[in-house]
Amino acid sequence: MTDRLRIALAQLNPKVGDLPGNLALARQALADAQAAKADILLLSELFLTGYFPDDLLFKTQFLKDAIATAKTLVADTAGTGVTLILPTVWVKNTGLHNAVVVAEDGEIIATRIKRELPNSDVFYEERYFAAGPLSDPVMIKGVPVGIPICEDIWHPWVCEHLVQRGAEILLCPNGSPYWTNKQHVRKDLVRARVEEDQVPMLYLNQVGGQDELVFDGASFGMEPGNKLVFQGKSFENDFIVSDWVRGDEGWTCARGDVVELTSVDEAPWRACVLGLRDYVHKNGFKQVVLGLSGGIDSAVVAAMAVDAFGAENVHCLMLPYRYTSEASLKDARDCADLLGVRYDIVSIGDPVDAALVQLAPIFGDRPQDLAEENIQSRMRGVVLMAVSNKLGSMLLTTGNKSEMAVGYATIYGDMNGGYNPLKDMLKMQVYKLAAWRNANLPGDSRGPAGTVIPQAIIDKAPSAELRPNQTDQDSLPPYPVLDAIIEALVEEELSIGEIVARGFDLALVQRIEKLINIAEYKRRQSAPGPKLTPKAFGIGRKYPITNGYKDRTGA
């Protein structure tokens, strides 16, 4: 038995399904732990498969390969002096499990199975895994160590059982995705477990983007008495080493560094940039292209792209038509210059006009309406996709959550693209973030400091510029009002009556609810984007396209 432990947490960015790549990351972490003379190395939840592999878990060969990879890593512990806690898929007589394998000197000394399986929000582990029993601690270097896995610590009895069975310290591997204020939610959770059980907990979270999810890292350790004893970086890889000493009052941290969390203002930007970077790179792309309209949304996406990839890997196109204002042309050019990106102008005038000529016999003498406007948007989509195909760049789409909520977007037009960094961000949040970025250089940024979004773009009224003198407010209520109603309907799931009781006009709330419902078919076909709220469209909010329900409250 020892009275000292050096524990290493590998806060890394695995890729789902990339068993060789994730093995290489784990091997480097094991080498780093050995170099640091660590006693224990902890990896994040389902590290070798990546979290979460979804229906890859139904592929028998994938499971065989994953378990074989885990055994390879176990063998690598021989001669290192490091005890490896490896979260992995594991098969026992009771079925497939989300588990940890504990390895020393090239051998497995213990396995533990996740007890509580999340089955809501974005993870449906009961679809794949069998739950394990309440488990006992594992003896590591003579110390009884409890290993609750992610969801386990949300249920007090799991940690309570481990401590009652002798656990003196808790090591918790996680795959916990980011959303607003999530870092503080985790801390409150761990603080509660630590105070209840009076043993310290080391909380390891992975980092990186996986489709719509962004994992923000920010791993930490906490002792009884509400003592934060170490904290890792947010939205970046980190290798965290802390020293622990056993005294009369149990284990305390003798050495640990506390890195300040990203601010609540910076975190959404970092989440969008990280999600964008990983989605593009993990899917084999190196460069991106987008339409730069002179509006706020495309300007913010362009700035995020430059922060993610560097200006040399971002290509912006202005695609003017007869309704494009001189102000928009200037603003788009100014934005491109501030960011330092390649900027091309490709007029859509001739192809749109040619399409209108060819359609004239079918359209007849019907007045101009949305059909003509959508041809403009779809022609822009055609041009952007052509550039994407020819140059091999991923096309980014730029619609915000307010627009996606009410269908203020053209399917197969401005919705074209492989990824949408603003998909879960309301319009007023976009404005707020633009002002923040002009005043701040985010961590891990590859873009320039200072103003990157012209103030003229922030100040002017938003417009799709699909007809003369058009503004968004011709069709929609002011965005502060619209965003508040969307938040109430989508994030809070309030009834129409409850929203009207807050002072909103009944007819307006009914109209917005109808628009949200009938736009579901568009959202179902939209590009993925980073989940920033608990109710992100798609992964966080699953509504039927064909939906006959009518909320009649408030009438």
Residue numbers annotated as active site: 45, 114, 150
How many helices and strands, by DSSP H and E, does the chain display? 16, 21
E-assigned strands of 77-211?
A: 83-92, 95-104, 107-113, 119-120, 123-124, 138-140, 143-146, 169-174, 201-205, 207-210
Report the side by side order of strands in the sheet with 394-395.
342-345, 314-318, 288-291, 394-395
Q: How far apart are the first and last CA of the chain?
A: 70
Neighbours of 64 (CB within 10 A): 11
Query: What whole-number distance in Å separates Cα of residue 377 and Cα of residue 394?
Result: 18
E-assigned strands of 484-542?
A: none
**Tokens at residue 185, please?**
């939610």
Query: Is 257 part of any known ligand binding site?
Result: no
Query: What whole-number distance in Å separates Cα of residue 44 and Cα of residue 400?
Result: 32
Angle at 483 between CA 481 and CA 487, to 5 degrees: 120
Query: What whole-number distance in Å separates Cα of residue 422 and Cα of residue 127?
Result: 30
Report the DSSP beta bridge partners of residue 215: 177, 208
Phi and psi at residue 61, in whole multiples of 5°?
A: -65, -35
Residue 449: helix, strand or coil by DSSP? coil
Query: Is 483 part of any known ligand binding site?
Result: no
Query: Is 298 part of any known ligand binding site?
Result: yes
Query: Is 247 part of any known ligand binding site?
Result: no
Which residues 6+ apart lie within 8 Å of 484 measured at CB? 504
**Tokens at residue 534, please?**
């608990």
| Pairing verdict, β 288-291 and 314-318 | parallel
Looking at residue 482, its amino acid is: L
**Tokens at residue 531, please?**
């989940």
CA 11 vs. chain centroid, Å, equals 16
Query: Is 182 part of any known ligand binding site?
Result: yes
Whether 483 contacts 427, CB under 8 Å = yes
Residue 384: helix, strand or coil by DSSP? helix
- Report in angstroms the alpha-carbon separations of 127 from 117, 131, 316: 10, 11, 42
Query: Is 88 part of any known ligand binding site?
Result: no
Whether 203 contacts 173, CB under 8 Å = no
Query: Is 297 part of any known ligand binding site?
Result: yes
Query: Is 398 part of any known ligand binding site?
Result: yes
Report the DSSP beta bridge partners of residue 395: 289
User: What is the chain's Cα-based Rg?
Assistant: 26
Query: Is 291 part of any known ligand binding site?
Result: yes
Angle at 473 between CA 470 and CA 478, to 5 degrees: 155
Q: Which residues are annotated as a binding site for L-glutamine?
A: 176, 182
Q: Which residues are annotated as a binding site for deamido-NAD(+)?
A: 374, 403, 522
Q: Which residues are annotated as a binding site?
A: 176, 182, 291-298, 374, 398, 403, 522
Q: Which residues are annotated as a binding site for ATP?
A: 291-298, 398
